[in-house]
Chain A
Amino acid sequence: MRAPIATAGKAAIILGIALLFAVASGGSTGDVPEPLGLWTGAMHGPTPKTLAGAAVVDFAAIEALLPGKPLLLDVGPAARKPEDFPSDRPWLPIHRSLPNAIWMPGAGAAPLAAAREDLFYRRIGELTHGDKAKPIVVFCRPDCWGGWNAGKRLVRKGYTSVSWFPAGIDGWQERRETAEVKPDADWIAEPAR
């Protein structure tokens, strides 16, 4: 009944099943453990309740943080123009986010090319003026791994006041107005992977 499979292969099966099930079910439920590294599966899906090394915050906690002027980091995806979009229809993508947020679309993707990851850390370093204790709130939307991954990257880099806001833009706009935010110029200047 049982096939002899090496331990590494077992773990591989399990992860394969895990990824596959994520696909097949396509939805969010259950509690998701923190991956050992970054999450390299589908970006849309159930996320963990925790992020080791960071605080997990809700709207009330964000509001309490705001007077301290944290760095608000939005890593949500940018709109993509369909290749066959007619030229005579308006294509006017607008990204609405927490006011004064820095938007680095795709900065939560994993894996990222080494150059992109370096750029990410460089930009964060600049935006925090080299202060590893500077409070940072990272987010995208619910059921999106981007915010989690970006938060993990920051924790790994030694930032000590990282907060992850899983409800993201949706949690914010339920109570407050959003503001239009343009993508960070340096981040998008280099072509994305």
Chain B
Amino acid sequence: MKILPLALSVALIGATPAPYVVAADTTATSDERAARWKAIAQYIFGDRKIEPTDTLIKLDAPERAEDAALMPVTLTMPEKDKIKSVYLVIDDNPSPLAAHVSFGPAADPGSLQLRVRVDTYTNVHAVAETRDGRLFGTVAFVKASGGCSAPVASSDDEAMQGIGEMRMKFAEGAGPGKSMQATLMVRHPNFSGMQMNQLTRNYTPSRYIDKLSVSYGDRKIFDLDADISLSTNPVITFSFVPEGKGPLKVIASDTKNGRWEQSFDTTTTN
């Protein structure tokens, strides 16, 4: 897995977001792809400029996803103190804004891992918002298709089993006051509404996690806004600084008024 630095020629046109030319993908329709990104960026960021970067945010995704419904993505933000939030955009998904993660005081925004669905071969953009309100972006091209409509399990009932159940795994090597890495796992089908129930040939109605809030004590670690581009049974790896009293708490909510809350004890690591 290679981290793709952004090696692009950028044309800054006034205040509009810069269109990207992806170095590895110079084909006839890269203009089309650039135009698409421009439209999406306009929708999400309005007229705000997105400056290309290969230092502030790095996007690591497999060039080819073995499972289009589960593509692991790693975002690395080396200058973490500057980072306020990150956006993950899968350009050609029908719902391109896969995730928006806003960091709070207990966060270590150095890295974040997510699993997403990819519907067709596409550019993926990661945009970091810094504390001073600027936007910086990077891009990678991934090959996968059908992720949004791939069936979740052999039956809807099976997919719904254990919904809302959570696990938290902690990586080793954290000391008091030092940053700790954790992996949150939430059982949820994240039905996109585009998956056809093979038995009834009706589409399984959408039901997906739209918000995840993680905090340590009374200090926020992050809020995640997501929708159908997030994989079934979301798994999110993040880092935080366990200062003061815990617990580590997660609140998950979905689009059908599901709400689950769970606390984890950080002292019981591994």
Q: Provide the bound-state CA to CA distance between A44 and B143, in Å.
A: 20
- A82 with B198: CB separation less than 8 A: no
Q: Provide the bound-state CA to CA distance between A44 and B227, in Å.
A: 24
Nearest Cβ distance between residue A75 and chain B, in whole angstroms? 15
- A82 with B228: CB separation less than 8 A: yes
Interface 1/0 per residue, A162-178 and B, CB below 8 Å: 00000001100110111
Decide yes or no whether B199 CB sits under 8 A from chain A: yes
- B43 with A96: CB separation less than 8 A: no
9-residue interface stretch from B27-35, B49-57, B132-140, B177-185? B27-35
Closest to A97 in B: B120
Q: Provide the bound-state CA to CA distance between A22 and B199, in Å.
A: 9
Query: Which of A83, A89, A178 meets B227, CB within 8 Å?
Result: A89
CB within 8 Å of A: which B3-54 residues: 27-30, 32, 36, 39-40, 43-44
Counting chain A residues whose Cβ lies within 8 A of the other chain, the interface size class is: 35 or more
Query: Which of A23, A83, A169 meets B198, CB within 8 Å?
Result: A23
- B154 with A141: CB separation less than 8 A: no
Decide yes or no whether B258 CB sits under 8 A from chain A: no
B contact residues around A94 at 8 Å (CB): 36, 92, 94
- A178 with B94: CB separation less than 8 A: no
The total of chain B residues at the interface (CB under 8 A) is 41
Query: Which of A43, A169, A174, A180 meets B196, CB within 8 Å?
Result: A43
B contact residues around A173 at 8 Å (CB): 120-121, 143, 145
Nearest Cβ distance between residue A162 and chain B, in whole angstroms? 24
- B193 with A81: CB separation less than 8 A: yes
Nearest Cβ distance between residue A132 and chain B, in whole angstroms? 32
**Main SS of chain A's interface residues?**
loop
CB within 8 Å of A: which B101-148 residues: 119-121, 143, 145-146, 148
B contact residues around A178 at 8 Å (CB): 29, 120-121
- B36 with A79: CB separation less than 8 A: no
A contact residues around B40 at 8 Å (CB): 90, 92
Q: Provide the bound-state CA to CA distance between A176 and B28, in Å.
A: 10
Nearest Cβ distance between residue A152 and chain B, in whole angstroms? 19
Chain B residues close to A by CB (< 8 Å): 27-30, 32, 36, 39-40, 43-44, 92, 94-97, 119-121, 143, 145-146, 148-149, 151, 154, 192-194, 196, 198-199, 201, 203, 205-206, 208, 210, 227-228, 255-256
Chain A residues close to B by CB (< 8 Å): 22-24, 26, 42-45, 77, 79-86, 89-94, 96, 99, 141, 169-170, 173-174, 176-180
The 4 closest A-B pairs by CB, nearest first: A82-B206, A82-B193, A79-B94, A93-B94
Given contacts A89-B227, A99-B29, A179-B32, 19 further A-B contacts (CB under 8 A): A23-B154, A44-B151, A79-B119, A80-B193, A82-B192, A82-B206, A82-B208, A83-B205, A83-B206, A90-B40, A90-B95, A91-B94, A92-B40, A92-B94, A93-B94, A94-B36, A94-B92, A141-B146, A180-B32
